[in-house]
Each structure stands twice: as structure tokens, then as C-alpha cells.
Amino acid sequence: MTNSTNNLLLLLLLLFFSGSSTELNDGDELQTLLTIKRDWGSPAAFSSWEVRSSISFGYCDWVGVVCTDGEVTSLSFPSFQIANPIPTSICSLKNLQYLDLSYNNLTGDFPTVLYGCSALVYLDLSNNELSGRLYGDIDKLSLGMLHLNLSSNAFVGDVPLAIEKFSKLKSLVLDSNSFNGNYPGAAIGGLVELETLTLANNPFEPSPVPKEFGNLTKLKLLWLSWMNMTGTIPNDMSSLTELTLLDLSQNKMQGQIPEWVLKHHKLENLYLYASNLSGEISPNITALNLQELDLSMNKLSGSIPEDIANLKKLRLLYLYYNNLTGPIPAGVGMMPNLTDIRLFNNKLSGPLPTELGKHSELGNFEVSNNNLSGELPDTLCFNKKLYDIVVFNNSFSGVFPANLGDCETVNNIMAYNNHFVGDFPKKIWSFELLTNVMIYNNNFTGTLPSEISFNISRIEMENNRFSGALPSAAVGLKSFTAENNQFSGELPTDMSRLANLTELNLAGNQLSGSIPPSIKSLTGLTSLNLSRNRISGEIPAAVGWMGLYILDLSSNQLSGEVPAALQTLAYEDSFLDNPSLCCQSESGMHIRTCPWSQSMSHDHLALSKIAILVILPCITLASVAITGWLLLLRRKKGPQDVTSWKMTQFRTIDFTEHDIVSNISECNVIGRGGSGKVYRIHLGGDIKAGRHGGGCTPRTVAVKRIGNTSKLDTNLDKEFESEVRTLGDLRHSNIVDLLCCISSQETKLLVYEHMENGSLDQWLHRYKRAGKSGPLDWPTRVAIAIDVARGLSYMHEEFVQPVIHRDVKCSNILLDREFRAKIADFGLARILAKSGESESASAVCGTFGYIAPEYVYRSKVSVKVDVYSFGVVLLELATGRGPQDGGTESGSCLAKWASKRYNNGGPVADLVDGEIQDPSYLDDMVAVFELGVVCTSEEPASRPPMSDVLHRLMQFDHSGTHSDGVVAKGVFDIDDSSDCIV
């Protein structure tokens, strides 16, 4: 009885203390979580963390918190806008196993406070702003770690050898940093439990693929692109039979693709593009689960293997930019899942597979720049999914399939420079999704409907045999070139339904009648060519007010006096072979003088002298009065009190508003633009860098001032907000760092890092290079192009939401002391909800020569707008010309000039910059020129994504020095002397 009583008392005591302990743990964890919230500055995402004393373990229901058996085991806070350091208290949660802090704003070195989280098995710090080196004692983290993700930060140096201690790791994700040292290949090869390994997008020291990676037989995903790998693909990796994804793209390798690569049965995605691989593709392909195969932008030769048709699950086949020959295997036409075929820029020949498109939902079909022949299969759009037909520069013949007239999904047709004959399907002109039709240099016949689809913006159909009347309505049409056809009749009487035209070329047809007065409705027209027709009557005076860059009305039957605004030597050749035209005697033009011209000249001269003598003094007096009044007003107002300024920080800085505002003066101005001035400000010696430890504020900054002494203009205010909102979130080594913004009611200041070598245009264009050394050499130009492409690729494809710059140009590309490039001036930037989608813009902004056609024509903005602008930059780098150095035949547009010269054939080598021509670089200069032409395609769908452009450019970085010594994001000491937004 006594023993039973004692046992019962003991049990009651245990239960009591157990309950007390649970309540104690409950209270400890609650306080720890509240401390974490407080130390992180109570971000808005934690607003639901409220204490409810009546509910035990209530915090287990808080956002981001997961409990197991009443104890916190998981904290998941992705995209919570956390900027403060990780507090030490986080490891007081002794059972914490899972910690996700991805997509936040964490800065500084790797957080060693996590060494105290002994139970941690999952750690995700990806997509933050962490920098510096990984410490050699990183193995103080929990050695039970299963998942370690540090991708998309700014870590530099080596990957430490201590990584080998994490023997249980299943996932090691280190891609997209700035590691510029070495990685321990042998040590990583010993982590035999790994299923995911990513080291991609890091400028490591060049080295071959570690053979030890062949030990990782459980790997399912291996991503090793753009990390300076050399040598061949080792056969040791043939043991990786569990792989579903293998990516070795954008490296500096050599040799052939080993046979085993295309034999792995579980492989679904294989990316080997832009890796300098050569030789033939193995004829024995048994990787039957492949869904995406990208071997583009290499030096592959030989034919496309017949076995490729056995890949029944393949959706994407990219073999473009190689040296492949022979036919496209007939079996490709039978593949049931193939939706995207890109074989352009090879040497393929023969006909297309007869049933291509019948057995799969073919969407994108690009085989341009080959030697293909025969007819297009009438099955291309069998499944009504086809949207891209790109077959230009081949030897296709026969009729364009009539059933393509029922393929309403098509938005782009590029079939120029072939041998097509017969009627072009008339129903195509009514497709609502169609935007671009380029079919010039064929033998097409047929007529155009009276009304063209509202969405078609470009028609290039010159050198065919189209006939009949011109369309009277095409509300979306911007460019219509139909030279050398057989169109007849008159120009439309009412041209207001063609009001969006910017280019109209109808030369060499059989048009008659007069130029209608309604031509004045074409307010955006810049190029008009009606030469070699039978047009008669007088030239409407409105033609002289249209500001045309190109005008050619020669070889017609026009009469009367040339409009006064056109009687200049700039239009001297615009009216030749019109015997009944005349002009004033003083025009200096080689055209017949009008009989009434001589008698009026003396009266005009006298009136002009009187006007000058009377008006000029009035203007002078008014100017003096206004200037004096403004100076008096400014003196009364006085300088603005610095206490009225508000600073918002985006980086760790160690200067004040006063340090900036007090140093703004005219003597510090280094640039001017439409939105204000840019100043260079040297911070005083009393501001000590790093006084709090680790501070990295540059000693010289660039300050962009938006607004003046009056109320800030609404547009400038929007521009300021756009730049702050965009740059405040973007973090990349090739995007200029916005340190802070300082604002008052009347003026906004943006404080940037400073770039010593100013903007690219000052080094590239002869007329701006005064005082600088000779032209930039070719390796430097390639390095700059790669830097900019990497920044744009991040903005378009890697940021949380795609960001469009909208004003990419040489003056917005800034260079540091080592000529590393960064993208600047985000005042026009726009954030898209979904990548690849177009949105309407309320106004067209940008700089002439860089603006994409669809942006001007339809105010449609997508990432392809930036691709076009970057293409112009590539053309500038390759040719040394400016964006408006295209000559009069191209409307001063460099992109149009390059496209015409390229498409007309002839030696492209004559087009590149003669100042730096070097036989060893000539092929690369030509290739970059051609890439610029591709990027500036008139049709957005034909422009490659920036990631593809970057991959292509990497092939031209032969020096191996571009990736060496890459600095952590945000610590370049740089100078902003770019133009402000035009």
C-alpha cells in the first residue's frame, strides 16, 4: 500500500513538472519569436503575429511558423522584405530544422550566427545581397545539413574546402554569385548523397570539369553553365545515370559531345549551347525521355542524326548557329510533341519533312539562313498552333500553302529572299494576331484587300508581282514597302485610315492620279518614296510640313511649284525627272525656275530686313527684363533649409543629407539631360569609411537632381518614383547601385556610386572622344557587351518580376576604372506582371535611334524593347558608328542601315569599325554585327531573349580576363557621367 502511494505521488510530480516545463518552453519560444520580429524591425509581413494568451502554442499558427509536437521546427519567410541582420536569438529555437529567408534584402557577410542552430537541416538564403567570402569554418553549421541554398547573392573568392564535411547533403545550390576563385571539385565529388548541384553563373578561375563529379551517382540535376569550364566533357560522368537535367552551356570547352550524353535514359533536359563544342552529333541517340535539347551556338558539323526522330517526348529542338549540313531527317515530321524548332544559321539543304506539323502542335518554326529548297509542307499549321514562320534566305520555291490562309494563330511571317511563286493567300491579311509580313524578293502574285488587319504593323513585299489597288485602311500599319510590284490605280483619297505610317515606299509601280491633300494626316511619316510611277498634279503643301527624312517623288508627271519648305538642297534629288515641276530661283536646286519667281525676290528681301530691325530689339529687351526678375525672385527665396530634406537609404552609407546637399554646385556638374543635372560630389575626409566596421560607401558619388527651384513637374516626379522604385530593389553587379534618395518638396536627389570612366558613348564615338586615348580595342568592347547583356538578362529573366529599362543606350552604360560596365538611368523603367507579355504604354519614351518599332507604332512595351535597343548598342560596338549614322537612305537610322546592308549581301567585313580592324578579331566583329541585326529585327518575336544574346556573346570572350577579379555587387568605385533621359 505504501509503495503504491509513493509511486502515485511520483507520477503526479512528474506530470506536474512536465506540464510546467512545457509551459516554460511555450513561453520561451513565444518570447524568442517576438524578439526575432523586433530585431527585424517588425516588417509588414509579420503584422499577423499577435499574442493570444488564451491559446496555448498560438504562435504555431503565425505566418511562416511551423511547429511539430508543440515546438517550432520551421521558419519560412521568403519575400518578407527583411533587411536587418539575422538575430542571434533565432538559434534559441533549439528544434529549428528548416529556415527559408530567400528573396529578402539581407546584406553583409555570411551570417555566422547560424552556426548555433544545431538542428538545422534546411537553409535557404538565396536571392539576397549577401557578399564577401564564405568562411573556411562554414562546417560549424549543422553537419546534418541536407539542403544548402546560397544562390543569387554576391559571394566572392573560393568555395571553401570545408564544404566536404556536409556528407549528408542532398542539395548544394551555389549558382549566380560572383565566386571568382576556385571550387573544391574533388571534395564536392565526395558528397555522394547529392541529388542537386548548381555552381552555374560564377566567374570561377578557368578549370576542367572535375572527374570526381562522376562519383555523384545520385545526381538528378547538374547545372554548371557559365563558370569558365575548359577542356572536354569527361567520360567519368557517364556514371550519372539518374540525371534528368544536365547543363554545361556557356563555357569555354572543346572537343566533341561524348556518345554517353545522348544515351542517358532518364535525361529530360540537355543544354550544351554556346560551349565551343565541335565535331558531329553522335548518330546513336537513346535518351528517349529528352524533352528539351539545346546544342545551339557551337561549332557542330555533319548532319542531324536520323535517330533524333526517336525522341517522341521532345518539345524543343535548338540546333541554330552551327555548321550542320545535309537534310532535316524526314522522321522529324513525325515527332508527336515537337512544338519549337530552331535550326537557323546552318548549312542545311534539301526539302523539309513532308508531314512537318501534322503530328505535333508546332508553334515556332525557324529555319532561316540555310540552303533548304522545295515547297513548304501544307501541314505546317495542321493543328492550328503555328505562330512563327521564319524561312528567309533559303531556296524555297512553289506556292505558299493555301491552307496557311486558315492559320489565324500566326503573328510573324518572314519568307523573304526565296523563290516562291503564285498567289499569296489573301486571307492572311485579315489575321488579328499577325504583326509582321516580310516576303520581299520572291515572285508572289495576288492582290491586297481594301482593309488590312488592325494588328499588322509591318509589310515588306518589294520585288514581287502583286497588282491591283492599294489598301485604303490599315490602322496599325507603320511600315509599308512595296517597291517594284504592279500596283495600279490612285493613292487612297482618304489617307487618315493609314495615319500610323512612318515609312511608305511604293516606288516602281503603276500608280496614277494625284497625291491627295489627306496625306497631311500621316503625321508620323518620316520616309516617303513614290518614285517611278505615273503620279500627276501638284505636290500638296502639307508634304513640306511633315518633316520627312527621306522623300523621293522622282520620275513621275508632277507639275506646279515645289512646296516652299522643300526647296532646299537637302531635297535636291527628290523631284528629278518631273519636267513640269518648278521652284524659286534662289533655292539653288537643279529644277526649272518658276516663271513668276524673279519678280518677287526683291520685295521679299526688303520685308525681311524690316522685320529683323524691328523685332530683334524687342526680343532683347524682354529677355533682360525676365532674367532680372528671376534673379530677384531667387535672391528673396534664399537657399532651402537642409532640415527640410528627407533621406531614404537603400544601402549601408556613412554620410548625411548635409554632406550631399551642401556640395551641390555648378562647378560639380558632369551631365545634363531632360530631367535635370548630374553632379560629381567628393565626400569630405571627416567622413570615415567603415567607422562601424565593414562600411563600404564610396568616397565619390554621383548625384542626379530632378527638379529645380519651382514645384516639381508631374512627369519628373513620376520619373523619380520610377527610378527609386526600380533601382531600390535591383541588385546586380552590372546595374548601377542606388545608394539613397534625398527629397524635398521641390527637388529630388538620387545618389549613386561613381564611375570613373564615364559613359560608353564618350569612348566609342569619334566626335565625343576628345581628350581621351584611342578607340576601345575589340576585347574591351566584347567585355562591355557581355556586362550589359548580363545585367539585362537579370532584369528580364531573373528578377522577381521582369523589369524593362526602356532607354538602353551607350550614354546610359557606365564604365568603371577597369572598363567594367553597368546599366544606369532607370527613370523610364517599367515592371511587367509576367515575363514576355506586352503592355500598353501611356507615352513613348526613349532616344531616337534606339526605340523599337512596336514601341513607336503601337506603344507596346515588352522586354523585346530592350533587346532592340541593345542590338543598336552592339551595332555601335561593331561599327563605331552612332545610332543615327545610318545615312540618308536609311533615315539616319543605324539599325535600318545595318539590316539593309546585311540582307543585300556583300562583304560584311567592310561594315565593321576600320579603326580597330584586326584580322584575329574580324570574324568575331562580323558575328557581333550580325547579332546586332538579329536583335534589331522589326518583329519583336524574331528577337532572341537576352539570355540567348548573352550566351552568344560569351563565345567571343577569348581572352579569359573578363571574368577574372570580379568584385562583389555594390562596391565598384564608379563615375556617372551619362546623359540624362532624352
Residue 214 in 3-state DSSP?
Answer: helix
Amino acid at 671: G
> Could you give the angle at which helices 894-903 and 863-879 cross, rounded to 10 degrees?
70
Q: Which is it for strands 107-108 and 71-76: parallel, antiparallel or unpaired? A: unpaired
- In angstroms, the CA 748 to CA 646 distance is 10
Residue 438 in 3-state DSSP?
Answer: strand
- In angstroms, the CA 849 to CA 869 distance is 8
What is each CA distance from 224 to 173, 196, 270, 691, 956, in whole angstroms? 11, 11, 12, 39, 19
- In angstroms, the CA 860 to CA 669 distance is 35
The strand pairing partners of 107, in sequence order, are: 129
Amino acid at 79: S
Tell me which of 175, 787, 807, 866 is the catalytic residue: 807
Q: How many CB atoms lie within 10 A of CB 55?
A: 10
- In angstroms, the CA 697 to CA 695 distance is 6
- In angstroms, the CA 304 to CA 347 distance is 11
Burial category of 131 from C-beta neighbours within 10 Å (exposed 0-12, middle 13-18, buried 19 and up): buried
- The vertex-653 CA angle with 649 and 658, nearest 5°, equals 80
The residues, ordered by sequence, that sit 6+ positions from 412 with a Cβ below 8 Å of its Cβ are: 387, 388, 389, 390, 434, 435, 436, 939, 941, 942
Nearest-10 Cα torsion for 426, 432, 437, 443: -10
Active site (annotated) includes residue 807: yes
Amino acid at 724: V
Burial category of 19 from C-beta neighbours within 10 Å (exposed 0-12, middle 13-18, buried 19 and up): exposed
The residues, ordered by sequence, that sit 6+ positions from 757 with a Cβ below 8 Å of its Cβ are: 763, 814, 815, 816, 817, 819, 975
Length of the chain: 982
H/E element, 615: helix 597-637
- Contact present, 82 and 105 (Cβ < 8 Å): yes
- Contact present, 949 and 937 (Cβ < 8 Å): no
Percent helix, strand, coil in the chain (nearest 5)?
Answer: 30, 20, 50
Which positions are catalytic?
807
